[in-house]
Amino acid sequence: MKNYFLLIFTSSLVIFFFSCKDEAIDLAEVDKPTTFEEYFQILGTPTDGAILIQSSGTPFSDSRAYNVNSRIKGDRMPFGLDLNGEKISFKDYYFSKLKNISYAEIDQNDLSDVYGGYFNFEVVQLGSEVFIKTAPSKKGENGSIYIPELIQAQITNLSNGNIVAGTTITWNVDPDNENGVILGVEYCPLSQTDSTIRDLYPERSLNGITLSESGSYVVKAEDLLHLPNEARVTLYVGRAGIGITTFGPDNQTFSVAGYTLFSSYQYIAR
């Protein structure tokens, strides 16, 4: 089992995570994605089932939101999650005939213990349910995956509250995260307070870059060229990890992923 890094920004990308793409990539050849597109390739790698642990935060609250998604092929209960003895079941699930996928999502009060740690996981039968069982492990241990530390970010050097060339984005560095950090900017026409911008730019867009764990990034003029001036956008900063394993006599594949995300509404000035 290998380590991978991915980032999922919005609920629409969570749907993408659960859609099981037909075009696979060679996971053995992708250790550290270096482009925005590579994360989507890894995200779309087909597996028979998957669990996604999510954490999101904003600059306006000290608390964070947590939830867990699970999906599996066919009309059956998605696998549950056993986090060091704490079991999360997905008995209430939705089946999509079109995609032949069953999936469910459950909000959680606190999953902070998952982040910043190494663990192993395996597929186990517990009574009438199947669970992904996790156990703490150590760096370098065979089959160990790493879920990066919860990310905290700040945005400074704004101009009248707007993101401009020279705006600085900083975040807490995770020394064990070898795969970097994603910065993304999403434009959504429905979020615009100016109807003129909404009418002139009716298409939603999401663009991002991959950075090393340096802890800061200074926005460049070219980063803003694809965005309408004075548009309201969502800025994302995040990092994540994923492990993929096989199970059963048919060597079905299953992934467990965890991501941490910071997001903030901002205005653009060029």
DSSP 172-193: ---TT-TT-EEEEEEE-GGG-S
pLDDT in single tens digits along all 270 residues of the chain = 333 333 334 444 444 444 444 433 333 344 566 666 676 566 556 788 889 898 998 887 778 999 999 999 999 999 999 988 889 999 999 999 998 999 999 999 899 999 999 998 888 888 888 898 888 888 878 778 889 999 999 999 999 999 999 999 999 999 998 878 888 898 999 999 999 999 999 999 888 888 888 999 999 999 999 899 999 999 989 888 888 888 777 888 888 888 898 989 899 887
9-31 burial by CB neighbour count: b if 16+ within 10 A, else e? Answer: bbeebbeebbbbeeeeeebeebe
Task: Name the DSSP letter for residue 123.
Answer: E
pLDDT of residue 24: 35
Q: Which regions of the chain does DSSP assign to beta strands (E)?
A: 3-4, 49-57, 65-73, 80-83, 86-88, 94-96, 101-108, 117-126, 129-136, 145-147, 153-156, 162-163, 168-171, 181-187, 205-211, 216-218, 232-247, 252-268
pLDDT of 47 reads 84
* Global confidence as pTM: 0.83
3-state secondary structure of 88: strand
- Structure tokens belonging to residue 5: 């890094």
Provide the residue count of the chain. Answer: 270
Q: What pLDDT was estimated at residue 8?
A: 38
pLDDT at 42: 61
* Amino acid at the residue 127: G
Q: Could you tell me the CA-to-CA distances from 25 to 12, 30, 181 in Å, in that order?
A: 22, 8, 21
**Nearest Cα to 104, choosing from 66, 71, 73?**
71
Cα–Cα distance measured from residue 258 to residue 239, given in angstroms and rounded to the nearest whole number: 9
Q: What is the pLDDT of residue 70?
A: 92
The DSSP output letter for 159 is B
Q: Vertex 9, ends 5 and 10: CA angle to 5°?
A: 140
Strands 252-268 and 232-247: antiparallel
Q: Three-class SS of residue 17?
A: helix
